[in-house]
């Protein structure tokens, strides 16, 4: 009997660490499962917001490119000689030759002139072709970003083990931050906005030889749009709780912080983003 009791006590002491290890593993699995659940919610919400933004960008870029193409079809004709004018010139020359032959005089044809496109046509077409290129580039990057977003979610769901999934989520998320994926997302609307600016500038150049009054209206419209855009870009730098901003607001914020903080006294606060500064300002005691 004593030997049996001694053997059972030894077996119990050997099973105790295994039981504790299994309990710790179960607790760790629950903890990682909670982390994976929260990370999955955050990543899916982030990717869905990107995808919805890109879908809107694609629709707008497609409609804008189609409208801009209609303008370019009419404007690029001014870069080449007008066949109608050439026909009229030839008919006039033939008529003068026939009249000279009937009168018994000699007709000397005028020297041919080299066609030169007006400077306003060159400026207009250059701006509109740049605008079209930016719009199509925006559509291309938006399409690629949708593919990258789907690939991001697919790679995050490759494994079912909570610990491994947690590591994959963290690894992929830090990859997004390392390669500035958020900045790429902000560049897309910036390209589209730049495309619109080039379009309005080209519209002004297109209207100059047509009508001065319409040129003034287009210039006034462009000035108003530029002023409002500048206001929406700069106001978040002063009021961090302002809901209005543009893709240039973040860039101006970084320049402002870099200029405000001397290089010799630079610290981590000078590198904080607008969102981080807003969070810090919101948690400061009033």
The C-alpha atoms of residue 196 and residue 179 are separated, in whole angstroms, by: 28
Boundaries of every domain in the chain: 8-79+117-210, 212-286
Inform me whether the pLDDT recorded for 154 exceeds 60.
yes
Mean pLDDT of 10-36: 61
Give the residue with greater pLDDT, 200 vs 103: 200
HSE, side-chain direction, 13 A CA sphere, residue 241 = 4
SS3 state of residue 44: helix
Q: Given a cut of 60, is residue 9 above it in pLDDT?
A: no
Which pLDDT belongs to residue 281?
A: 75
Portion of the chain with pLDDT greater than 90, in percent? 22
Residue 242: in which H helix or E strand, if any? Answer: none
Please determine, for residue 110, whether its predicted confidence score (pLDDT) is greater than 80. no
Highest mean pLDDT among 37-41, 91-95, 143-147 belongs to 143-147
Note the pLDDT of residue 87: 66
Q: Measured between alpha carbons, how far is 50 from 147 in angstroms, rounded to an integer?
A: 11
Question: Do residues 285 and 247 make contact, with C-beta atoms less than 8 angstroms apart?
Answer: no
The residue to which tokens 């209609």 are assigned: 70
**CA nearest neighbour of 208 among 127, 89, 102, 112:** 127
Q: What is the pLDDT of residue 19?
A: 54
Rg (CA), the chain: 34
Query: Whole-angstrom Cα distance, residue 61 to residue 194?
Result: 12
pLDDT per position as a tens digit, 211-261: 889 899 989 988 998 999 999 999 988 888 888 888 888 878 877 777 766
| Range 24-43 average pLDDT | 72
Nearest to 150 by CA among 48, 4, 262: 48
Q: Distance between CA 222 and CA 65 in Å, rounded?
A: 19
Query: What is the rounded average pLDDT for all residues in the chain?
Result: 78
- The pLDDT score that the predictor gives to residue 8 is 47
d(CA 144, CA 159): 25
pLDDT at 71: 92
Most confident of 67-71, 103-107, 278-282: 67-71
Where are the alpha helices (H) located in 104-161, listed in sequence order?
119-156
pTM listed for this prediction: 0.72
| Tally of residues, the chain | 286
């Amino acid at each position: 009997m004593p030997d049996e009791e001694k053997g059972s006590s030894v077996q119990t002491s050997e099973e105790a660490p295994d039981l504790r290890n299994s309990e710790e593993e179960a607790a760790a699995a629950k903890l990682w499962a909670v982390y994976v659940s929260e990370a999955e919610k955050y990543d899916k919400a982030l990717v869905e917001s990107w995808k919805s933004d890109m879908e809107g960008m694609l629709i707008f870029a497609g409609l804008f490119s189609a409208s801009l193409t209609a303008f370019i079809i009419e404007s690029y004709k001014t870069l080449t000689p007008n066949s109608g004018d050439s026909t009229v010139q030839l008919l006039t020359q033939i008529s003068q030759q026939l009249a000279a032959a009937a009168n018994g005089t000699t007709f000397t044809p005028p020297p041919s002139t080299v066609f030169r496109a007006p400077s306003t046509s060159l400026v207009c077409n250059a701006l509109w072709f740049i605008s079209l290129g930016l719009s199509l580039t925006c559509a291309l990057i938006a399409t690629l970003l949708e593919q990258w977003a789907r690939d991001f979610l697919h790679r995050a769901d490759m494994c079912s083990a909570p610990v491994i999934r947690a590591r994959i989520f963290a690894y992929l998320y830090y990859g997004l931050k390392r390669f500035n994926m958020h900045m790429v997302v902000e560049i897309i609307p910036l390209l589209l906005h730049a495309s619109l600016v080039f379009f309005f500038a080209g519209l002004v150049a297109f209207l100059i030889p047509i009508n001065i009054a319409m040129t003034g209206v287009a210039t006034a419209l462009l000035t108003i749009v530029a002023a409002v855009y500048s206001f929406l870009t700069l106001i978040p730098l002063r009021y961090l709780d302002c809901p209005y901003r543009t893709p240039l607001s973040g860039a101006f914020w970084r320049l402002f912080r870099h200029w405000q903080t001397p290089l010799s006294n630079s610290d981590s606060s000078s590198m904080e983003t607008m969102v981080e500064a807003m969070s810090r300002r919101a948690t400061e005691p009033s």
